[in-house]
């Protein structure tokens, strides 16, 4: 993994809009995107609707306050009645209290269910990521997936908690407020309504631009996450090659781009904010002057003007916040799209049709052709009509020059990739006709790059066994893999191995991966160069132990060294995408020049 990271430096990896997996489609509607959240929101809809209702009530309670003020000014204040003034003050206090309590109730109603919605969506995303084929993961940078599982989901929860409710609440509040103002005095009301049209226009224009900027920003966060993740995983390579400067430059460039996008978003927000603050402000000022003149002339009561202006002021927040709420909704729509890009990706296909044919036992490749889905069109396939039969109980070594497609061929057996044409059978049953569980229960694999998880040694190895496998199996597997170093670890098999098992040596990791492959006593064993990191003596010891396991297992073993090849009953030579020779090691050494060269050249190229 780390080596690949160096060859694919993040500067070239930073995806552009064009080649990004699942790039955004040009015309899409925010509402339509957000509606896709409904299945997740459905279970908490009752709470969400009651919360919205409570918020509407709370907001309307706030609008009663100006009416009480009017009564206070025109009544007790005008008549100089202290008792009445106190009573009015008490009403105002109670109304304010009720408003605050109701908003508190709303928050209480939504907090817990929405955390549940976020958790459910995250669990679904994780499940989907596990089920997506290897080809998907080859294509998608991990940071893009990480950022979807964290940042985007948080945006969605915030959206459901806040903008969703308040867009509704504010709309209702503004409507009720405007009606109240028109009823108080319709001329002043029209003055206040004046700026509505320009504000709406600004909103629509802004919404479109903001949507694009939001999408760009969220994708750039994904790219940035990828760089950070690769730098952390590849820290040894980066330090070893002194690449921290170029890595830092890549990071700086991406974060500068992101900063640019965020600033652009801020400028857009500032524009709309300016429009939404200034225009209503001017309207309120105008209404104040006009109203004051009319109160002086005696054709408007002071109380009405007070009520009118305080209603207008009460509407200030709902109006001002709309820009901000729309911005949040846009970001949520983008996050929803990004989320569903992953959820909509095709998972590994399930069983197709297929049947056992006759006495076709063992592991068999029938005219298998394979081409990587992202290979350039027109390029030759990696595997070209491969026919290979590993008889039951037999171990077959697979030999070929580097890059000849050995790893690719082994990955087809557990269906990490799907064959382009042809088929693979296990004991005569097409692997596409089995369920994934069944297939992966029969076939055990160990790859070139031994990956260990952040867990104990024992847990890492037992991952290869059926549930309920115990210490006996664990010990046997460790013995086969000659992993006696485990005994010397601080807590033996209970020792935690770090992220990707970095605290173990390469050979130690390989032996644990091998133990994982053999622990479940699989019927079919596929080993991709499993002993490459071992010294000659350890290799010989592993081979001796492995020979016993291989006695009753059908195995396909990728090998580079004659010593590993000798483990196998027969050898197949992969060359130019085809199996060009099959036979015993000695037969091929004598009869096949390419094979002889591969086997004898080993010392020269350092294998």
Ligand X SMILES: Nc1ncnc2c1ncn2[C@@H]1O[C@H](COP(=O)(O)OP(=O)(O)OP(=O)(O)O)[C@@H](O)[C@H]1O
Q: Please give the residue ranges that form the binding site for Mg ion (CB under 5 A).
A: 407
Do 64 and 95 contact (CB within 8 A), yes or no? Answer: yes
Q: Which is nearer to ligand X, 412 or 515 (CB)?
A: 412
Residue 403 touches ligand X, criterion: CB under 6 A: yes
Residue 402 touches ligand X, criterion: CB under 6 A: yes
What own/partner pairs with CB < 8 Å and gap ≥ 24 does 300-303 have?
Answer: 300/185, 301/70, 301/73, 301/74, 302/73, 302/74, 302/78, 303/69, 303/70, 303/71, 303/72, 303/73, 303/74, 303/75, 303/78
In the complex, which residue's CB is closest to Mg ion? 407
Q: Which is nearer to ligand X, 332 or 573 (CB)?
A: 573
Nearest approach, Cβ of residue 410 and ligand X (Å)? 8
Q: Which is nearer to Mg ion, 54 or 398 (CB)?
A: 398
Strands 443-446 and 524-528: parallel
By a kind-dependent CB cut-off of 5 to 8 A, residue 372 interacts, out of Mg ion, ligand X, none, with ligand X
Residue 300 touches ligand X, criterion: CB under 6 A: no
One symbol per residue from 425 to 464: x for binding ligand X (CB under 6 A), - otherwise; what is it? Answer: -----------------------x----------------
In the complex, which residue's CB is closest to ligand X? 407
Residue 283 touches ligand X, criterion: CB under 6 A: no
Q: Which is nearer to Mg ion, 215 or 406 (CB)?
A: 406
Residue 133 touches ligand X, criterion: CB under 6 A: no
- Find the angle CA(520)-CA(570)-CA(506) to the nearest 5 degrees: 50
Strands of 443-446's sheet in order across = 443-446, 524-528, 554-558, 395-400, 570-575, 578-583
Buried/exposed 36-67: b ≥16 CB within 10 Å, e otherwise: ebeebbeebeebbeebbbbbbbbbbbbbebbb
- Nearest to residue 20, comparing CAs of 140, 143, 142? 140
Cα 341 to Cα 149: distance, rounded to the nearest angstrom: 12
Nearest approach, Cβ of residue 528 and Mg ion (Å)? 6
Cα 591 to Cα 583: distance, rounded to the nearest angstrom: 10
Residue 141 touches ligand X, criterion: CB under 6 A: no
- Nearest to residue 426, comparing CAs of 566, 570, 522, 527? 522
Do 483 and 517 contact (CB within 8 A), yes or no? Answer: no
Nearest approach, Cβ of residue 557 and ligand X (Å)? 13
Nearest approach, Cβ of residue 273 and ligand X (Å)? 48
Nearest approach, Cβ of residue 144 and ligand X (Å)? 17
Q: Alpha helix locations (H) across 133-185? A: 134-139, 142-147, 153-161, 163-184
Q: Which is nearer to ligand X, 8 or 115 (CB)?
A: 8
Nearest approach, Cβ of residue 336 and ligand X (Å)? 30
Helix/strand/coil for 323: helix
Q: Which of 400, 464, 522, 530 binds ligand X (CB under 6 A)?
A: 400
One symbol per residue from 379 to 398: x for binding ligand X (CB under 6 A), - otherwise; what is it? Answer: ---x----------------
Nearest approach, Cβ of residue 514 and ligand X (Å)? 17
By a kind-dependent CB cut-off of 5 to 8 A, residue 457 interacts, out of ligand X, Mg ion, none, with none
Cα 177 to Cα 41: distance, rounded to the nearest angstrom: 30
Do 426 and 467 contact (CB within 8 A), yes or no? Answer: no
One symbol per residue from 404 to 423: x for binding ligand X (CB under 6 A), - otherwise; what is it? Answer: xxxxx---------------
Residue 346 touches ligand X, criterion: CB under 6 A: no
Contacts (Cβ under 8 Å, ≥6 apart) of 308: 66, 181, 184, 185, 188, 189, 287, 291
Q: Which is nearer to ligand X, 408 or 553 (CB)?
A: 408
Cα 422 to Cα 431: distance, rounded to the nearest angstrom: 11
Q: Which is nearer to ligand X, 51 or 517 (CB)?
A: 517
- State the angle between helix axes of 82-131 and 316-343 in degrees (0 to 180), rounded to the nearest 10: 10
By a kind-dependent CB cut-off of 5 to 8 A, residue 403 interacts, out of Mg ion, ligand X, none, with ligand X
By a kind-dependent CB cut-off of 5 to 8 A, residue 402 interacts, out of Mg ion, ligand X, none, with ligand X
Nearest approach, Cβ of residue 408 and Mg ion (Å)? 8
Count of residues in contact with ligand X, rule CB under 6 A: 14
Helix/strand/coil for 514: helix
- State the angle between helix axes of 316-343 and 302-314 in degrees (0 to 180), rounded to the nearest 10: 20
By a kind-dependent CB cut-off of 5 to 8 A, residue 220 interacts, out of Mg ion, ligand X, none, with none
Handedness of CA 143, 374, 421, 4 (dihedral sign): negative
Nearest approach, Cβ of residue 446 and Mg ion (Å)? 12
By a kind-dependent CB cut-off of 5 to 8 A, residue 405 interacts, out of ligand X, Mg ion, none, with ligand X
Q: Which is nearer to Mg ion, 11 or 580 (CB)?
A: 580
Residue 21 touches ligand X, criterion: CB under 6 A: no
Q: Which is nearer to ligand X, 167 or 416 (CB)?
A: 416
Tell me which DSSP letter residue 151 carries: I
Q: Which is nearer to ligand X, 87 or 401 (CB)?
A: 401
By a kind-dependent CB cut-off of 5 to 8 A, residue 375 interacts, out of ligand X, Mg ion, none, with ligand X
SS (H, E, C) 115-146: HHHHHHHHHHHHHHHHHCCHHHHHHCCHHHHH
Cα 378 to Cα 576: distance, rounded to the nearest angstrom: 16
Nearest approach, Cβ of residue 489 and Mg ion (Å)? 29
Nearest approach, Cβ of residue 374 and ligand X (Å)? 6
Q: Which is nearer to ligand X, 212 or 578 (CB)?
A: 578
By a kind-dependent CB cut-off of 5 to 8 A, residue 341 interacts, out of Mg ion, ligand X, none, with none
Q: Which is nearer to Mg ion, 407 or 538 (CB)?
A: 407
Do 373 and 545 contact (CB within 8 A), yes or no? Answer: no
Window 360-379: residues binding ligand X (CB under 6 A): 372, 374-375
Residue 576 touches ligand X, criterion: CB under 6 A: no
Phi, psi of 587 (to 5 degrees): -55, -50
Q: Which is nearer to Mg ion, 390 or 559 (CB)?
A: 559
Q: Please report, as ranges, the residues that interact with ligand X according to CB under 6 A.
A: 138, 372, 374-375, 382, 400, 402-408, 448
């Amino acid at each position: 993994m780390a080596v690949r990271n160096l060859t694919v430096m993040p500067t070239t990896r930073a995806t552009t809009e064009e080649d990004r997996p699942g790039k955004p489609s040009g015309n899409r509607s925010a509402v339509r995107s957000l509606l896709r959240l409904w299945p997740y929101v459905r279970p908490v809809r009752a709470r969400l609707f009651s919360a919205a209702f409570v918020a509407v009530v709370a907001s309307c309670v706030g609008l009663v306050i100006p009416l009480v003020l009017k009564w206070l000014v025109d009544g007790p204040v005008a008549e100089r009645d202290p008792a009445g003034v106190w009573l009015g003050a008490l009403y105002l206090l109670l109304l304010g209290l009720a408003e605050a309590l109701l908003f508190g109730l709303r928050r209480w109603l939504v907090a817990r269910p929405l955390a549940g919605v976020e958790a459910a969506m995250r669990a679904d995303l994780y499940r989907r990521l596990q089920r997506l084929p290897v080809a998907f993961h080859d294509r998608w940078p991990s940071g893009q997936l990480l950022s979807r599982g964290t940042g985007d989901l948080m945006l969605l929860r915030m959206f459901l908690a806040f903008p969703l409710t308040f867009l509704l609440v504010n709309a209702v509040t503004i409507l009720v407020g405007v009606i109240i103002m028109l009823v108080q005095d319709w001329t002043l009301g029209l003055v206040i309504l004046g700026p509505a049209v320009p504000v709406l226009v600004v909103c629509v224009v802004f919404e479109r631009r903001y949507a694009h900027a939001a999408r760009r920003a969220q994708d750039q966060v994904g790219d940035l996450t990828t760089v950070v993740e690769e730098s952390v995983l590849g820290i040894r390579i980066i330090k070893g090659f002194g690449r921290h400067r170029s890595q830092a430059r890549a990071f700086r460039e991406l974060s500068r781009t992101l900063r640019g996008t965020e600033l652009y978003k801020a400028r857009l927000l500032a524009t709309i904010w300016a429009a939404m603050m200034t225009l209503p402000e001017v309207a309120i000022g105008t209404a104040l002057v006009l109203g004051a003149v009319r109160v002086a002339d005696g054709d408007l009561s002071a109380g009405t003007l007070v009520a009118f202006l305080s209603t207008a002021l009460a509407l200030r927040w709902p109006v001002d916040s709309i820009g901000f709420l729309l911005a949040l909704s846009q970001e949520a729509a983008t996050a929803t799209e990004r989320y569903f890009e992953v959820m909509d990706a095709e998972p590994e296909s399930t069983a197709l049709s297929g049947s056992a044919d006759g006495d076709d036992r063992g592991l068999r490749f029938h005219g298998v052709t394979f081409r990587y889905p992202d290979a350039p069109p027109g390029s030759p396939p990696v595997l070209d009509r491969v026919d290979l039969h590993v008889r039951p109980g037999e171990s077959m070594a697979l030999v070929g020059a580097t890059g000849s497609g050995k790893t690719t061929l082994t990955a087809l057996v557990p269906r990490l990739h799907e064959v382009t044409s042809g088929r693979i059978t296990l004991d005569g049953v097409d692997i596409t006709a089995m369920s994934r569980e069944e297939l992966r229960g029969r076939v055990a694999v160990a790859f070139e790059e031994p990956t260990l998880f952040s867990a104990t040694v024992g847990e890492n190895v037992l991952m290869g066994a059926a549930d309920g496998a115990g210490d006996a199996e664990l010990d046997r597997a460790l013995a086969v893999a000659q992993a006696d170093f485990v005994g010397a670890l601080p807590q033996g098999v209970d020792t935690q191995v770090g992220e990707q098992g970095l605290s173990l040596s390469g050979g130690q990791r390989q032996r644990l991966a091998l133990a994982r492959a053999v622990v479940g006593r699989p019927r079919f064993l596929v080993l991709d160069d499993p002993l490459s990191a071992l010294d000659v003596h350890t290799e010989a010891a592993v081979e001796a132990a492995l020979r016993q396991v291989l006695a009753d297992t059908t195995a396909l073993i990728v090998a580079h060294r004659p010593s590993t090849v000798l483990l196998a009953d027969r050898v197949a030579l992969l060359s130019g995408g085809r199996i060009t020779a099959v036979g015993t090691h000695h037969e091929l050494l004598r009869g096949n020049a390419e094979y002889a060269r591969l086997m004898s050249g080993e010392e020269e190229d350092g294998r």
